[in-house]
Structure 1
Amino acid sequence: MGCINCIKRCPTQAIRVRNKKAQINSKFCIDCGECIRVCPHHAKHAIYDTMEDLKQFEYTVALPAPSLYSQFNNLDDVNIVLNALLLMGFDDVFEVSAAAELVSEATREYLSKNPDKLPVISTACPSVVRLIRVRFPNLIPNLLPLNPPVEVAAILAVRRAMEKTGLPREKIGIIFISPCPSKVTYARAPLGTDHSEVDKVLAIKDVYPRLLSCMKAVGEEPPEIGTSGKIGVSWGRSGGEASGLFTEDYLAADGIENVIRVLEDMEDQKFTNLKFVELNACNGGCVGGVLTVENPYVAEVKLKRLRKYMPVARSHMESEGEELVRWTSMVQYEPVFHLGDTMMESFARLNQVERLLKKFPGLDCGSCGAPTCKALAEDIVRGEAAESDCIYFLRDNVHKLTKEVARLAADIEEGDGDSYSKFRAMTSYIVRISDEMNQLDRKEGRNQNDDKGTD
């Protein structure tokens, strides 16, 4: 449709609309899924695996996210969902919420041993970690250097599957059932570790209809295979991770815009006496992921109701547990927003940006396909756009050319100078006007499409 909803809401300005198509710059993208959430035309879709991809493995283990339990009405026993996953065709199930309890235990220990690094920022949401890596490098030392629960669950699931079956690693498929595209990217390009043990990622919204029919086939008293309690299941909603640390000195924020506001305040050192900061890119936490089916606020209520009669925790750290949970490599700053390869080049290009900004109206209308006038100026400096992409700049140019043509026509009529040479000059001006008017018509045609939509 050529609308600009996505470019206005992208937290890292990773999207541009060129020739009526939205294009994502993978260097800037943090895979938060905000563009999918706000697009009224459903033009964007997350990339993930399908059930057909599971056929390449001899033995498959499902890793259900805690937010999966919140998608069903009147669910009072997680064992119904876990046994339904086995009926779906999985050979085994390992709860991510069980691994979450191990991470909570390791976090409590880390906070007690590292008082000089407070406040600590949760690394459970890959989008938040990626955001900090590209936009808030000063906060990288505050990141909790522990693997997210999905990775810990995958490592433990691989060990258990190899011991149980005797199969080599390549014949075992570890399948995560995800609420968001951020976890899909993590499985393919993990942070804090060189390689993820998650082989495939399915979307909750794809698994949900199949799982519903299988849940009906599960008896009233399903076999007890669940291994998590309140702490682990609570990770599915905002504030759930922090609640498992048994401290009141924490802050929990959800929604990417709120996350950015908190990180900006942290950079300005506005928070005091905080031990832990839990941040989730999706509204409501993982229950608000774009790959779920239930309203996030309804899902949060369901999750609270489900955990009401559960034990506090059922999984505890073993002697080798710290080795599983710890990062094997640190997150490094990614200077994707730099305008040049060197500081001198960056300063020179920054001056060019400032000069361009004086030409532009400063309306940040998005008609050029960039979210702001500054973003367009930076694109021009990088060689990815032109000044004529700005409708207002182009219109002013056309007016100037029109006045010049009128002046030349008047000179020819008066017979001043070489009429022929001036005629040729006027002709070239007319050609330029024609080209720029065509550009203007194309841009205004895109804006008419915007009026037909919701933008």
Structure 2
Amino acid sequence: MEYFHSVRLDWSRCKGCTNCIKRCPTEAIRVREGKAYIIQERCIDCGECIRVCPNHAKTAVGDSLEELSAYQYNIALPAPSFVSQFAPRASLEQTLGSLISLGFDAIFEVALAAEIVSKAARRYLDNYRGKRPLISPACPAVVGLIQVRFPSLLDQLLPLATPMDVAARLAKREGVAASGLPPEAVGTFFISPCPAKITAARQRRNGLAGPDGVIPMRDIYGDVLQNLKSAAPYPSRAGAGGYGWGHSGGEKKCIGGPHLLEVDGINQVIDVLTMIEAGYLQDIDYLEMQACPGGCVGGALMVTNPYVARMRLRELTSRIGPRPEELPEAGDSLKPYSYLPRPALRLDPDLATALEKMHQVEATDKMLPGLDCGACGAPSCRAFAEDVVRGEAQDIDCIIVLRERVRVVAEEVVELARKLPVSMARPERGNDKDEAE
């Protein structure tokens, strides 16, 4: 099955500046012939390249409000971080109401699904006796990172569906009941803070359904802002715990209990996953991991500064308080996906050949300068060595190696220029003088 990616590259905007290759956590970007390109099988759609590209050549492709016309009844699924973009301009209820003014018929808060997942996660942790720590699957960029770089940790992902998918399934059920329409006539649209969740929603694993569409938060920010003051309030059903999932530490707090750790920022996530793979942190029960700085409020498709958004979301949740009503019955909506490894980093399907290529990579890497300058178009000397062994680059694409090769050739040319055939050799000057006398 072809893997969908929401992150796309606009070559007409790309200047080949190499900023993106340094920031990609899976080394999925190269620069060739003055333009960047994405190695699709390595990309996890984390959006780091979108953040750092000064030319806006990286974009995320999602759905638009025009897609609502494909359904007779549409339900918006705003992420918990959604409201952080508009506080304190309007209340939570007004912010939700602004989505109705965009053409939606109803709203199902993903924050409500987050509370359902938190409750189920707490039950699971209380009865779990397996290998620790368990890792939250809520951030699809983290899941993708594990699939590509840390496949041995896939078994430690919490086997529960994410709040986004739980919300989509429950919203579909409620929409069918409210409208009397068949499921295929009811559309569910997630309002996404990041490209990774667009990708996750588009993938269909185990035949389990997620949202019918995903609309990037950035794309509707202006429309929501325009309708904010005039929108009729829409009642909120979620509590502070569910909305806390929108920033780092919120998931941990909502689940509750000891020995829980939150980690945010892709580099910190990589560091902690490396520790787990090495056998550390077994005293931790559960890891909340989010690739974006500050959590979903720092998503690549958000508008507000992540630190400001996190502060506003915390202030908002402090005013919401817990919801007194009972949570909806989850039923089978918590059924998880099966996450399979994505062997994007292997050098060859055949083990013996892969080992031989690994030795070649080591040898090539040793002859490189180790500067990780990026001038070759690869993010590091090690990555460049792999490209050479794969046949995707030549060693002289490294400017240092090329310069040394040119120096050696130049010295050989100079040495050759000094030499003449024996038949053309000149007599020594001293001998000429003696003969003249």
In the superposition, the TM-score normalised over structure 2's length comes to 0.89
Match for residue 400 of structure 2? Answer: 392
Residue type of the alignment partner of 1:226: S
SS at match of 2:228: helix
Q: Which one of 267, 273, 282 corresponds to residue 263 of structure 1?
A: 273
Q: Are 2:108 and 2:167, in contact at CA under 8 Å, matched by a contact in 1?
A: yes
Question: Is 2:221 the partner of 1:213?
Answer: no
Q: Are 2:90 and 2:229, in contact at CA under 8 Å, matched by a contact in 1?
A: no
Equivalence map 1:154-303=2 (5 Å): 154-190=168-204, 193-219=206-232, 222-223=233-234, 225-303=235-313
Residue type of the alignment partner of 2:92: V
Match for residue 323 of structure 1? Answer: 332
The CA deviation at 1:254 is 0.4
Question: Is 2:128 the partner of 1:114?
Answer: yes
Residue type of the alignment partner of 1:325: L
**Structure 1 residues 316 and 132, CA gap change in structure 2 (3 angstroms):** farther
The CA deviation at 1:372 is 1.1
Identity among equivalent pairs (%):
45
Match for residue 346 of structure 1? Answer: 354
Structure 2 Cα separation of the partners of residues 415 and 47 of structure 1 = 73
Residue type of the alignment partner of 1:326: K
Equivalence map 1:358-377=2 (5 Å): 358-377=366-385
Structure 1 Cα separation of the partners of residues 263 and 279 of structure 2 = 17
CA offset digits 1:40-65 (Å, max 9, x no partner):
23221112122223222222211111
Structure 1 Cα separation of the partners of residues 423 and 358 of structure 2 = 48
Residue type of the alignment partner of 1:244: C
Q: Are 1:106 and 1:322, in contact at CA under 8 Å, matched by a contact in 2?
A: no
Structure 1 Cα separation of the partners of residues 332 and 185 of structure 2 = 24
Q: Are 1:98 and 1:315, in contact at CA under 8 Å, matched by a contact in 2?
A: no
Please say which of residues 367-376 and 406-415 is displaced more in the overlay.
406-415
Structure 2 Cα separation of the partners of residues 136 and 112 of structure 1 = 26
Question: Is 2:84 the partner of 1:73?
Answer: no
Structure 2: runs of 5+ lacking an equivalent: 1-14, 426-437
Structure 1 Cα separation of the partners of residues 98 and 278 of structure 2 = 49
The CA deviation at 1:79 is 1.3
The CA deviation at 1:412 is 4.8
Q: Are 1:101 and 1:316, in contact at CA under 8 Å, matched by a contact in 2?
A: no
The count of corresponding residues between Structure 1 and Structure 2 is: 411
Residue type of the alignment partner of 1:189: Q
Structure 2 Cα separation of the partners of residues 253 and 44 of structure 1 = 26
Match for residue 140 of structure 1? Answer: 154
Structure 1 Cα separation of the partners of residues 221 and 153 of structure 2 = 37
**Structure 1 residues 316 and 20, CA gap change in structure 2 (3 angstroms):** farther
The CA deviation at 1:394 is 1.2
The CA deviation at 1:272 is 4.2
Match for residue 378 of structure 1? Answer: 386
The CA deviation at 1:121 is 0.7
Match for residue 43 of structure 1? Answer: 57
Please say which of residues 65-74 and 278-287 is displaced more in the overlay.
65-74
The CA deviation at 1:115 is 2.9
CA offset digits 1:305-357 (Å, max 9, x no partner):
111132324565555x2521121x42122222111112101111011112212
The CA deviation at 1:375 is 0.7
Please say which of residues 165-174 and 392-401 is displaced more in the overlay.
165-174
Structure 2 Cα separation of the partners of residues 258 and 131 of structure 1 = 12
The CA deviation at 1:142 is 1.2
Structure 2 Cα separation of the partners of residues 166 and 415 of structure 1 = 104
**Structure 1 residues 200 and 186, CA gap change in structure 2 (3 angstroms):** same
Structure 2 Cα separation of the partners of residues 10 and 188 of structure 1 = 22
